[in-house]
Amino acid sequence: MDKEQIDKIVAKYHGEPSALIQILLDIQSENRWLPGEALQMVAEALDVPLTRIQHIATFYKAFSLVPKGRHEIHICMGTACHVRGASRVLDTVEGHTGIKPGETDLDMKFSLETVNCLGCCALGPVIEIDGKPHGRMAPAKALEVLKNYE
């Protein structure tokens, strides 16, 4: 991300340091991750210590300090999905993709995350790929779904 884009986002919040989290969220959603230089630029623009930004960027789940893969797999680990066997789905997806939650594979194909309750517990266990929910998952079925992504 270049300085111009960052300045624009910062300006939207009138350079208000209390908007730091909102600014980082905007950068995250535009860029899909937070590069180190971007954090440095935000620190300067808002005049807040980098330690605070670093803490925020690692404290909240929405932020990623590394680039994401082409497809984002979100496996719901909400309580309802858990009691319906979500962890077996997660185990199988981990085995298949070779990555753990929070990681991205070497081909940059998949990033894996666990999330909590997507609001469609009736269809649990649920996984969401690139924002599209797939319900009533089971280990073998999840692998079928993953085959559709390149």
Partner 1 sequence: MPRINSPGELEAVRREIESQADRAKPCVLICAGSGCIASGAAEVIAAFRAEIENQGLAVDIGTKGTGCHGFCERGPVVVLYPEEICYLQVKPEDVPEIVSKTLKGKEIVERLVYADRATGEKASRESEIPFYKNQQRHVIGSNVRIDPKSIEDYMALGGYTALSKALCDMTAVEVLGEIKKSNLRGRGGGGFPTGRKWEESRNAPGDIKYVIVNADEGDPGAYMDRSVLEGNPHSVLEGLIIGGWAVGACQGFVYVRQEYPLAVENLMIAIEQATEYGFLGQNILGSGFDFKVTVHRGAGAFVCGESSALMTAIEGKAGEPRPKYIHTAIKGVWDRPSVLNNVETWANVPLIIARGADWFTQFGTEKSKGTKIFSLVGKINNTGLVEVPMGTTLRDIIFKVGGGIPGGRKFKAVQTGGPSGGCIPESMLDLEVGFDELSKVGSMMGSGGMIIMDEDTCMVDVARYFLDFLADESCGKCVPCREGIRQMLKILTNITQGKGKEGDIERLEELAEVAGYAALCALGRTAPNPFLSTLKYFREEYEAHIRDKKCPALSCKELIAYYIDPNKCRACMTCSKQCPSNAIDGGKNRIHVIEQDKCTKCGTCFEVCPSRFGAVTKISGAPVPPPIPEEARIITRESKQK
Partner 2 sequence: MSEILFTIDAKEVKATEGMTVLEAAKSIGVFIPTLCHHEKLEPYGACRICMVEVETGGRTRIVASCLYPVEPNLVVRTRSQTIDKIRRVLIEEMLAHAPDSVQLDELAKEYGADRDRFEKEPSFCIHCGLCVRYCAEIKKKNALGFIDRGARREISFIPKLAAEECWNCKECFELCPTSALQAAYVLAQALSPV
Residues within the interface to ligand FES (CB under 6 A): 76, 78-81, 117-118, 120-121, 124, 126
The backbone region for 136, taken as left when phi is positive above 0, alpha when psi lies in -120 to 50, beta otherwise, is left
Residue 145 contacts residue 135 (beta carbons within 8 Å): no
Residue 83 makes contact with partner 1 by CB under 8 A: yes
Residue 49 makes contact with partner 2 by CB under 8 A: yes
Buried b (16+ CB within 10 A) or exposed e, 6-29: beebbeeeeeeeebbeebbbbbbe
Residue 47 makes contact with partner 2 by CB under 8 A: no
Task: Report what 135 binds from ligand FES, partner 2, partner 1, none; CB cut-off 5-8 Å by kind.
Answer: partner 1
CA distance linking residue 85 with residue 79, whole number of Å:
10
Residue 59 makes contact with partner 2 by CB under 8 A: yes
CA distance linking residue 72 with residue 104, whole number of Å:
9
Residue 58 makes contact with partner 2 by CB under 8 A: yes
Residue 80 makes contact with partner 1 by CB under 8 A: yes
| Binding to partner 1, residues 37-56 (CB under 8 A) | 52, 55-56
Residue 3 makes contact with partner 1 by CB under 8 A: no
| Smallest distance from partner 1 to CB 7, Å | 18
* Residues of this chain that bind partner 1 (CB under 8 A): 16-22, 24-25, 52, 55-56, 59-63, 77-85, 87-88, 91-92, 95-96, 115-124, 126, 133, 135, 138-140, 143
